[in-house]
Amino acid sequence: MEPKRIREGYLVKRGSMFNTWKPMWVVLLEDGVEFYKKKSDNSPKGMIPLKGSTLTSPCQDFGKRMFVFKITTTKQQDHFFQAAFLEERDGWVRDVKKAIKCIEGGQKFARKSTRRSIRLPETIDLGALYLSMKDTEKGVKELNLEKDKKIFNHCFTGNCVIDWLVSNKSVRNRQEGLVVASSLLNEGYLQPAGDLSKYSVDGTAENPFLDNPDAFYYFPDSGFFCEENSSDDDVILKEEFRGVIIKQGCLLKQGHRRKNWKVRKFILREDPAYLHYYDPAGGEDPLGAIRLRGCVVTSVESNPDGKKSEDENLFEIITADEVHYFLQAATPKERTEWIKAIQVAFRTGK
């Protein structure tokens, strides 16, 4: 009897020989993790046994690479995977942990931070807390803040985070709020913006988070960017990047010239409505952008060459300039979700 498939999807994996990062189709089984060069391949390129393995998340070994987690086998072999966004990484981490726990007969794996150990109140669930903080009505309000002739978009101050934690009764006092906020920072749920907050993270303080109105932070998938003479790595000046991110993930995209299919990371923004696509293996700048205003998006039952297939999960975007983009989702559900999200974006965006 074949092991049950728990989760599958595209992740970027670091190679063990040449240390290059490439997108792979990854399948989590009850006893291991298989990875394939393409989803359609019958045989995996490799398999990682989970018995006796440990998992580290977040893995902060690679500087600018976010949403990375590491699986270490009993032979002390490290396998690094990078997700497209935070919730996707956390979903993989939860399922891999559960698989390891089941194999070990109930042994609990303690997730460790690579920066410093911070003791959390037992009642705190960082993942659930993060979702509450991002709530558009009751969560932490994202603002455009100015400091030192720089404009920080989609961010908030350190003292606002502590205020929210206290008023929301997530913590008993501001000191406990610092501990929780520092854990959110260490686990990648918050990111520092600006020199003050970045210096604190890189320092040796017990709590790297600052309860300070001059310390700026942002959610990693919020669409944060900094304008004018900024020293930040996230400087983006184009109007098309101002929209709030409403969906992101990996899809297959067909090239316009060679008609070959490649995995791309897509980020959907609204107001203005744009769909940017990136090399999932790295690179902060997009490879291209699809302006969604006036576009048409629909599912298709055959590929652009006319070949019929029942399990391709294809959809097409036709822009106002009549440029055709063919994309492929991993499942019918994922295709439907993307189509609905794109429809919302071009109806509400500019």
- Answer whether residue 118 is part of any domain: no
User: Is 34 in contact with 44 (CB distance < 8 Å)?
Assistant: yes
What is the identity of the amino acid at 330?
Answer: A
Q: Which residue has the higher pLDDT, 86 or 210?
A: 210
| pLDDT score of 118 | 47
Same-domain check for residues 91 and 195: no
Same-domain check for residues 220 and 240: no
Q: Is the pLDDT at 33 greater than 80, yes or no? A: yes
Domain count, the chain: 3
Specify which of 35-49, 109-123, 298-312 reaches the highest per-range mean pLDDT: 35-49
| pLDDT score of 82 | 92
| pLDDT score of 206 | 63
Q: Report the CATH number at residue 76.
A: 2.30.29.30
Interior CA angle at 158 toward 84 and 138, to 5°?
70
Domain boundary among 175, 203, 226: 226
Share of the chain residues as helix, strand and coil, in percent rounded to the nearest 5: 20, 30, 45
What 3 state SS string does 226-284 have?
EEECCCCCCECCCHHHCCEEEEEEEEEEECCCCCCEEEEEEEEEECCCEEEEECCCCCC
- The three-state secondary structure class of 193 is strand
What is the identity of the amino acid at 259?
Answer: K
Same-domain check for residues 239 and 215: no
Mean pLDDT, rounded, of the chain? 83
| pLDDT score of 112 | 36
Exposure string over 200-225, b if 16+ CB within 10 A, otherwise e: bbeeeeebbbbbeeebbbbbbbbbbb
Q: Is the pLDDT at 110 greater than 80, yes or no? A: no
- State the CB neighbour count (10 A cutoff) for residue 87: 17
- Answer whether residue 296 is part of any domain: yes
Same-domain check for residues 238 and 221: no
Q: Return the C-alpha torsion angle 9, 15, 20, 26, nearest 10.
A: 0
Domain of 78? 5-105
- Answer whether residue 210 is part of any domain: yes
**pTM here?**
0.60
- Answer whether residue 240 is part of any domain: yes
Same-domain check for residues 62 and 96: yes
Domain boundary among 226, 258, 281: 226
- Answer whether residue 115 is part of any domain: no
Cis peptide before 58 (omega within 30 of 0): yes
Q: Is the pLDDT at 54 greater than 80, yes or no? A: yes
- Answer whether residue 185 is part of any domain: yes
Q: Is the pLDDT at 231 greater than 90, yes or no? A: no
Same-domain check for residues 245 and 342: yes
Residue-wise pLDDT for 163-218, tens only, equals 999 999 999 899 999 989 988 887 788 988 888 888 887 665 567 899 999 999 99
- Answer whether residue 301 is part of any domain: yes
Half-sphere exposure in the Cβ direction for 324 (13 Å, CA) = 13
Residue-wise pLDDT for 241-289, tens only, equals 777 888 999 999 999 888 889 999 999 988 788 999 999 887 777 899 9
- Answer whether residue 180 is part of any domain: yes
Q: Which residue has the higher pLDDT, 222 or 1?
A: 222
